[in-house]
Amino acid sequence: MALPVLAERDRLRVAPRPPGRAVRAAWAIAIGVTVTAAWLAVIGYRALAGGHELWSAVRDAQGRMAGPILVLVVAGVFIAERRWPAVPRPALARAHIVDATYLLLFALIGPLVTLLNTGFAVEVERHAGFLILGRLPLVPQLVAVALILVGMDAMNWAAHVANHRSASLWRFHALHHSQEDMNVFTTFRTHPLSHASYLPAMLPALVLGASGTAPAAALIAYGCLVTLPHANLRWTFGPIGRILVSPAYHRVHHASGMRPMNFGFVLVCWDRLAGCAMDPVAGDPVATGIAGRPVPIEQAGASGMARVVAAQLVQPFRAGEAMGARP
């Protein structure tokens, strides 16, 4: 699906490189995010190790994050991309291999995410315990679980917007937007430290936890719905696309050189409420990536893919480099 012709005011002109002071400030705050993430991970480790729950928590988290169901869904979508591609690509395209490497990394960093989540929960309970509600007698458990999942999606949307608005968070999020050959594996093309910016998505579960706990199956289903929009497919989901984020809808968000739109993870309603939703229309798929290629990408040369991935992960910590205009 392609974008409709936009008015000139809706087009994003590539901004000039930020002045050195702004780049250094964004870099310094990004280092602060890194230190904070490490601090939360240490707190999480102490809490889990002290309660002898470390390995069981890691095992459960890896099952939710990159378990067999998610892998089967990704494999099925990858097969669908071969049959109905939005943009035809070889199965072993460099983009697929690099993004699949990030899927492997995603599975391996499960312990880190578990420690981050635990450390965040401990600090919320310690310093903001007033946010945590007791059992709500008039709210059935099923309703509480639905509120948790919807609230989690809303917080993910807000964090996603922040990743675009903040120059410091964008240093990590730019890697995700650098992909010029989007595919189902692009979901996992994420800097490990980007997970820290999405920790507030845990708040609904912490606040309403006494009234209900989202089952693992619901969280796995949510993860699958988050994965599908990055697929190299023309699917719009028809009428359901007015509610759920489709591949065609999310491709608009990854459009190169356009004003940022369509930040939703699973639900479209947050974009519509914020006035930043744009429905795709028929035509050739829009080009994706970041204008100027400020992040090393596999399409730019013949470098080994392991070297490309390493350069991408190190890029946010290069103090003197801007990360391009934030789409």
Tens digits of residue pLDDT in 219-229: 989 999 999 99
Residue-level pLDDT at 19: 58
pTM of the shown model: 0.89
| CA atoms within 13 A of residue 113's CA, in its CB half-sphere | 25
If you count DSSP H runs as helices and E runs as strands, how many of each does the chain have, helices first?
12, 0
Tell me the per-residue pLDDT of 137-192, one tens digit each, with 9 for 90 and over. Answer: 888 999 999 999 999 999 999 999 999 999 999 999 999 999 999 999 999 999 99
Q: What is the pLDDT of residue 324?
A: 67
Q: What is the 3-state secondary structure (H, E, C) of 150-199?
A: HHHHHHHHHHHHHHHHCHHHHHHHHHHHCCCCCCHHHHHCCCHHHHHHHH
What is residue 325's predicted lDDT score, i.e. its pLDDT?
60
Tell me what pLDDT residue 12 has. 40
- For residue 162, what are the contacts with CB-CB under 8 A and spacing of at least 6? 169, 197
CB burial string 279-292: b at 16+ within 10 A, e below:
bbeeeebbbbbbbe
* pLDDT reported for residue 11: 42
| pLDDT tens-digit map of 69-89 | 899 999 999 999 999 999 999
Residue 274 CA to residue 270 CA, distance in Å, equals: 6
| Centroid of chain to Cα 297 | 18
pLDDT value of residue 264: 97
Report residue 204's pLDDT band, with 50, 70 and 90 as the boundaries: very high
Helix or strand run (H / E) with residue 205: helix 203-208
Q: What angle do CA 305, 308, 311 make, to 5 degrees?
A: 155
Residue ranges per structural domain of the chain: 8-317
In the prediction, which pLDDT does 326 show? 59
CA distances (Å), origin 154, targets 56, 322, 325: 29, 29, 25
Range in 253-257, 260-264, 270-274, 279-283 the model is least confident about:
279-283
Closest by CA to 84, choosing from 186, 235, 196, is 235
The answer on pLDDT for 96 being more than 90 is: yes
Q: What pLDDT is stored for residue 15 in this prediction?
A: 44
- 268 pLDDT higher than 80: yes
Rounded Cα distance, 298 and 305, in Å:
7
Supply φ then ψ for residue 132, to 5 degrees: -85, 120
Q: With bands split at pLDDT 50, 70 and 90, how would you rate the model's confidence at 92?
A: very high
What is the pLDDT of the chain when averaged over all its residues?
89
**Average pLDDT for 10-19:** 46
